[in-house]
Amino acid sequence: MRTIDHWIGGAPAAGGIGYATVWQPATGHPQAQVALGGRAEVDLAVAAAAKAYDTWSETSLSRRTRVMFALRDLVERHEDELARLITAEHGKTVEDARGEVVRGREVIEFACGIPQLLKGGYSDQVSTGVDSYSLRAPLGVCVGITPFNFPVMVPMWMHPIAIACGNTFVLKPSERDPSPANLVAQLYADAGLPDGVFNVVHGDREAVDVLLDHPDVAAVSFVGSTPIASHVHRRASASGKRVQALGGAKNHAVVLPDANLVDAARQIAGAAYGSAGQRCMAVSVVVAVGSIADELVELLARQAAAIVVGPGDQAGSEMGPVVTAQARERVVAAVTGAREAGAEIVVDGRALRVDGHEDGFFVGPCLVDRVTPTMEAYQQEIFGPVLVVLRAESLDEAIAIINANPYGNGTALFTSGGAAARRFVRGVTVGMIGVNVPVPVPMAYHSFGGWKASLFGDVHAHGTEGVAFYTRGKVVTGRWPEPSEAARSALDFPTA
């Protein structure tokens, strides 16, 4: 079977504490094994990154920018290859995977503007003969630990900005779909990035914990589920690192009676079932407000039932499988549990089988109505193609439901009223909000991040917050007296 190795110091590197199987979700068969790095591999990667930092952090902005422009072009040229690698290991449709690559590339495009982003400030004559300026310096070796659901885009929220800022980087991708990270490493090398600036260590919790404790790692960016995000934040903070740890989600779409229901149902179905619901910004809860609930459920059911489920690389497939057999079982159990708790299954994808792919990890779209906030199907992040419907009497009740939920990643409102939209935007305790937009993922030049259990730390990913995360400030106060000026010694605190 094909083996997927690490990428350390500019070349593939074997070794580790064992191997994990990489499955092909559409067939349900193993397709490769990925090396699981241990302490030795992590040490090698961090040492390579620390060595490269000495020269990379001194490399001019112009040269760093040129590498980013070259990488951007290479990612565009290899879009199809990257997308097909994603589809083979993750399962999502190739078209969806292409979208992921484009959104990742947009962060590289943002990083191409790094000279402008790193411009400091200068204040002339802050006191007589004294000037002051501020600059932002890189941190050192930065680490990214990323989830399976966006194996290209989520790491790209991190490494282009970290590297453009003058840091070096060690990526620990998900062990479920590890191949795209190695292709990106090759593209960086082809773009002229010096060896050791970008490294990949594959692995699981063992590699992660060594990275979190490592004395030569300066900063950790994590994206994944909430329990692991919380663990990463605590452990890396305890060892003195800068940490941003993005966690799980339960994203609500609220539909008001004045919304265009047909449009809302179409958009919500896309947001709920796209990528088989395995997006951190997927809509997993609909809150139907007032009298429209039955009509909305009927429209959603029609949309869900019409979705074509099949292998991600097959023309016509709109939704692929989920990532593993365990993920499939989790989805089926959640829907079964909801019915046992009193909810009504309107569209039931639990028994779906795809012809010719009977062993694939497929589960069809599920729509579950009359769910209440006390049910597990509401409280749990199912992370599959399951949309649950809650009913509320008013916009205020819908806002209260969202705010009582422990997660605060994304939410959306469907309405034709500006005043309601404004009240919603101001009232929800959520980081990313859509108004008649179901998946409000911020563009690369804004920052991505949720509130509450969806983010541990205070700095969001990419955009200017990303630049702030991967740099630290220096402020210089300087005086260049004329030779004729006598130096003055004063014991009182200096003022202007």
Per-residue binding string, ligand NAD, 290-329, x by CB under 6 A, is ----------------------------------------
By CB under 6 A, tell whether 148 contacts ligand NAD.
yes
Closer CB to ligand NAD, residue 205 or residue 422? Answer: 205
Enter the tokens of residue 180.
């795209």
Rg (CA), the chain: 25
- Max distance between CA atoms of the chain, in angstroms, equals 90
Stretch that binds ligand NAD, among 217-225, 366-374, 415-423, 477-485 (CB under 6 A): 217-225
By CB under 6 A, tell whether 223 contacts ligand NAD.
yes
Interface with ligand NAD in residues 108-127 (CB under 6 A): none
Distance CA 426, CA 326 (A): 39
By CB under 6 A, tell whether 353 contacts ligand NAD.
no
By CB under 6 A, tell whether 6 contacts ligand NAD.
no
Size of the residue set binding ligand NAD (CB under 6 A) = 28
By CB under 6 A, tell whether 224 contacts ligand NAD.
yes
366 is catalytic: no
**CB-count exposure of residue 374 (10 Å: 0-12, 13-18, 19+):** exposed
Nearest to 239 by CA among 221, 211, 213: 213
Closer CB to ligand NAD, residue 290 or residue 442? Answer: 442
Closer CB to ligand NAD, residue 138 or residue 463? Answer: 463
Distance CA 370, CA 391 (A): 7
Distance CA 219, CA 241 (A): 5
Nearest to 349 by CA among 328, 336, 366: 366
Using CB under 6 A, pick the residue from 208, 304, 402, 413 that binds ligand NAD. 208
11 in helix, strand or coil? strand
Interface with ligand NAD in residues 230-259 (CB under 6 A): 231, 246-249
Using CB under 6 A, pick the residue from 154, 271, 285, 413 that binds ligand NAD. 154
- Tokens 């993750």 belong to residue: 90
**CB-count exposure of residue 426 (10 Å: 0-12, 13-18, 19+):** exposed
Using CB under 6 A, pick the residue from 175, 211, 391, 408 that binds ligand NAD. 175
By CB under 6 A, tell whether 410 contacts ligand NAD.
no
By CB under 6 A, tell whether 210 contacts ligand NAD.
no
Interface with ligand NAD in residues 420-479 (CB under 6 A): 450, 454
436 — alpha (psi -120 to 50), left (phi > 0) or beta?
left
By CB under 6 A, tell whether 200 contacts ligand NAD.
no
By CB under 6 A, tell whether 149 contacts ligand NAD.
yes
Q: Give the DSSP H or E segment for 64.
A: helix 61-77
CA angle 393, 381, 291 (to 5 degrees): 15
Least Cβ distance, residue 217 to ligand NAD (angstroms): 14
Distance CA 297, CA 227 (A): 32
- Tokens 């007296």 belong to residue: 481
Using CB under 6 A, pick the residue from 25, 104, 144, 147 that binds ligand NAD. 147
By CB under 6 A, tell whether 280 contacts ligand NAD.
yes
Q: Which of 112, 142, 165, 280 is catalytic?
A: 280
Asked whether the beta carbons of 332 and 352 are under 8 A apart, the reply is: no
Stretch that binds ligand NAD, among 143-151, 265-273, 314-322, 417-425 (CB under 6 A): 143-151
Using CB under 6 A, pick the residue from 64, 90, 172, 357 that binds ligand NAD. 172
Q: For the chain, give me the number of helices (H) and strands (E)?
A: 16, 23
Closer CB to ligand NAD, residue 123 or residue 326? Answer: 326
Nearest residue to ligand NAD by CB is 224
Phi, psi of 39 (to 5 degrees): -55, -40
Distance CA 235, CA 220 (A): 10
Phi, psi of 406 (to 5 degrees): -65, -25
Closer CB to ligand NAD, residue 172 or residue 242? Answer: 172
Quote the DSSP letter at residue 258: T
Residues found near ligand NAD in the complex (CB under 6 A): 145-150, 154, 172, 174-175, 204-205, 208, 223-225, 228, 231, 246-249, 280, 381, 383, 409, 450, 454
Task: Tell me which residues are annotated as active site.
Answer: 280
